[in-house]
Amino acid sequence: MNIKDTFVASLVPIFLGFGFVIAKPAFESFPPILLMGIRFTFAASLLIWWFPIPKGYLKRIFAASLVANTLQYSITYTGLDLIDASSAVLLVQMEVPFGVIFAYFLLKEKPTIRALIGITIAFVGVYILTGSPNLDGKFIGISLTILGSAIWALGQVMVKPLSKEINPLALVAWLAFFSGPILIMLSSIIDGNTINYLTNAKIDHWIIAIYIGLIMQPITYGCFYYVLKNNPLYKVLPIVTMGIPPTGLLAAIFLLGEKPTQELFIGGAIIIVGVILIVFTKNKKEEEIK
């Protein structure tokens, strides 16, 4: 990976880790699914005018948006609403082990022994982390966050081929175009009173919504898909994955005033060790191609 791609990739965890954590206070005004609907609607409204309709790809983009955006974000952020942000930002790292698992079953990519050891270690870390006192009785929130990580991994398997054929920002725009309205409609069915939430939301929570929709979403995923287009996944994941936990934890501690427990640090460290073993396992076939 060249210097330019490395720099672009490094922006992803900074914006994503910070945005993931600061979304939590906005749940006081917006239910999680509605906030995600606003997020993608804002992103689409900013970007959609700059890119022509990707004819021939709409069905694939719509299918990817249902999994990678609509389903994943509604589940993950509902989980975030139920547990501490510091715990959630570590649990979402399970998207890497799940990515290896889905790549095996869907793409027939056989994992290395090192990757299998990493997956096992990561799940041990989850077991320890979930024993933290601040997660006591929050099984639903934990389960939703982990499930969201698995769905994210599945979504990226669907998005990666598209990232090679469509402009990265165009892909962000059209994925958001499909998922934003669906999420808002889904929220109106599940949460009700959508207009009431929108009209009564606090100004600072609207600022958060604007940030994650108009700034974080275009920059983060535009950068991610751009780098993914030009580089094999094993070179991108170390930079993106390793940057999210420290960014997210620092934001949770200093912005939300959370106090991570000993179990969280130990379990989180073990998860990260497992993820490191996975993401630093090189795919020889990809290396030969590059």
CA distance 235 to 257: 34
**HSE of 59 in the Cβ direction (CA atoms, 13 Å)?**
1
State the pLDDT at residue 284. 45
Residue 34 token pair = 């509605």
CA distance 275 to 198: 39
pTM for the full predicted model? 0.87
Tens-level pLDDT at each residue, the chain (290 residues): 778 888 888 888 888 888 889 999 999 999 999 999 999 999 999 999 988 998 889 999 999 999 999 999 999 999 999 999 999 999 988 888 888 888 788 777 788 898 899 999 999 999 999 988 889 899 999 999 999 999 988 888 888 788 788 888 899 899 999 999 999 999 999 998 899 999 999 999 999 999 999 888 888 878 887 887 777 666 676 677 778 888 899 999 999 999 888 999 999 999 999 988 887 765 544 444 33
CA distance 230 to 122: 28
Domain extents in the chain = 3-289
Burial of 284 (0-12, 13-18, 19+ CB in 10 A): exposed
State the pLDDT at residue 233. 64
